[in-house]
A and B are shown apart, each in its own frame.
Chain A
């Protein structure tokens, strides 16, 4: 498959739809068998040492599966009711290194839950492996603008 801007964008837009619609199992299926889903904390970026510094999320494949399994439960109270969301993904830049696509994009997410609307924003860094007619996510790091603020509920997916 040719690695074009259209193909990369189409994949990121598809992922954004799954996240907004809380299609969590379909989202999980986008990930490679060995993967890392990382949201650093305290305003840090991907230069942080996740083995010495706490993250908001640092999931390997097993952690990601636990997260998705829990979100499917009727007892995941912080997502009962679900967050209603719509996000815009843009400012995409990417390069291909050793067969992997390294992307950097911005997101702006409006999240509404129980009468409260929150605006979340940040930078997403994907490492994508070409697979079939699309990609698999090898790693995704989200640099959340609010990562050093007091946060109520981040149980939806970024």
Chain B
């Protein structure tokens, strides 16, 4: 299916229990995803805590469009198009750094880190109609933030961020409120990973671990301690675990491990207490949030395992940003968040747990990437083009707030993401 798709095709490609492989393989579909999803929806650009000091910046992309997220000398975090207003050079080539000014090294135009054009070489060459204030850095059409997560939309109009997040917002709180002061530090750096497969494969699948991650689960059984096994006891991916999948609407989905983790809370707290000053962390959480909410937040372990559509995932300790490169190529950035107001040992543990499973040399991420690549290969066999995503449809239920709930291994999450995908792709 390589012909251009009409609007109505997209609804056809996503059926209630199946999806056409063109959704993952067709370059024309990818072009439309850039236009209708990535250059239109709210995307997460990053977290403000990655930029603690005035001048700190990160150059990144929204879909295909290069942007700079920068904390200005006035302390405000802004997102600008990474493009000189003169001839259109990308201003900022370093991925991260600190800059009071952004200088275009083509012809020397200089911008303040708050956006205004500061200086133009040879101003006598510009007449009275040229006003520097008309040539500041172009801000993204819309920018908003929630709990320090910076979102931007390249569309001038559309739903507000609050409307977009809806009931998913409270899971950003879960991530942040693993800190007794509700704040994180995102200066630990980033794992940048890459795979040759479609961007929609990554994250939010509770059915795959028994096979994709068998080698890790075997290692967990062999020894518990110092790795991911500290936050999971028993088999968190078993249908009987009590853990759930949730479709929160607008493509936001959740692998909800709270039931299983609440049942194992005492064991988890035991592993925290083994850390130097670990008890201080537990006490600080109780003092900040009360014992009941504090224990619930400890059971979450700051891991909402949420996918905020389309490009943000909060998994384990990481803020994960998904960057589609092409229909069969994806970059994934994993930023481990450290907690403010906790003993150093808790943050060391978070880093070690993250590294043990995630990143290019972790025990988990590369096996995921390997399977995504095999998936991309298999989907080329298009004689029978349908991907079956019906697991749990027979037992899915709908909550009063409209969110759909399945068991942890049910494909409620994939269906929720693809339902939003079809809607966004079908909007003119």
Contacts and interface: CB of A to CB of B under 8 A. Distances in A.
Interface string B347-369: 11001101110011101001101
Interface stretch (A12-20, A66-74, A87-95): A66-74
A61 to B, nearest CB: 10
Contacts of B336: 54
Contacts of B189: 41-42, 44, 53-54
Contact of A62 (B95, B193, B226, B367): B226
Nearest to A41: B189
A67 B367 contact: no
A73 B95 CA distance: 37
B215 interface: yes
A76 interface: yes
A150 B361 contact: no
Interface stretch (B129-137, B148-156, B216-224, B398-406): B216-224
Contacts of B219: 66, 69-70
B361 A75 contact: no
A152 B194 contact: yes
B205 to A, nearest CB: 15
B256 to A, nearest CB: 26
Given A78-B369, A154-B366, A55 B190 contact: no
B194 A150 contact: yes
A107 B338 CA distance: 33
B225 interface: yes
A57 interface: yes
**Interface SS majority for chain A:** loop
Contact of A152 (B193, B212, B226): B193
Interface string A129-158: 000000000000000000011111111000
Contacts of A76: 215, 367
A101 to B, nearest CB: 26
Given A57-B355, A77-B371, A154 B223 contact: no
A73 B193 contact: no
Interface string A6-38: 000000000000000000000000000000000
Contacts of B287: none
Contacts of A85: none
Given A70-B219, A151-B193, A56 B226 contact: no
A57 B355 CA distance: 6
A63 B361 contact: no
Contacts of B227: 63, 66
Contacts of B352: 58, 63
A97 interface: no
B360 A56 contact: yes
19 contacts: A41-B190, A42-B190, A44-B189, A50-B351, A51-B347, A53-B351, A54-B188, A55-B355, A66-B227, A66-B356, A69-B219, A69-B222, A73-B214, A75-B218, A77-B215, A150-B193, A152-B193, A153-B366, A154-B366
Given A70-B215, A76-B215, A77-B370, 20 more contacts: A51-B344, A51-B347, A51-B348, A52-B338, A53-B189, A63-B226, A66-B222, A70-B218, A73-B214, A75-B211, A75-B215, A76-B367, A77-B212, A77-B367, A149-B192, A150-B331, A151-B194, A153-B360, A153-B366, A154-B361
Interface of B: 95, 187-196, 211-212, 214-216, 218-219, 222-223, 225-227, 331, 336, 338, 344, 347-348, 351-352, 354-356, 359-361, 363, 366-367, 369-371
Interface of A: 39, 41-42, 44, 50-58, 60, 62-63, 66-67, 69-70, 73, 75-78, 80, 148-155
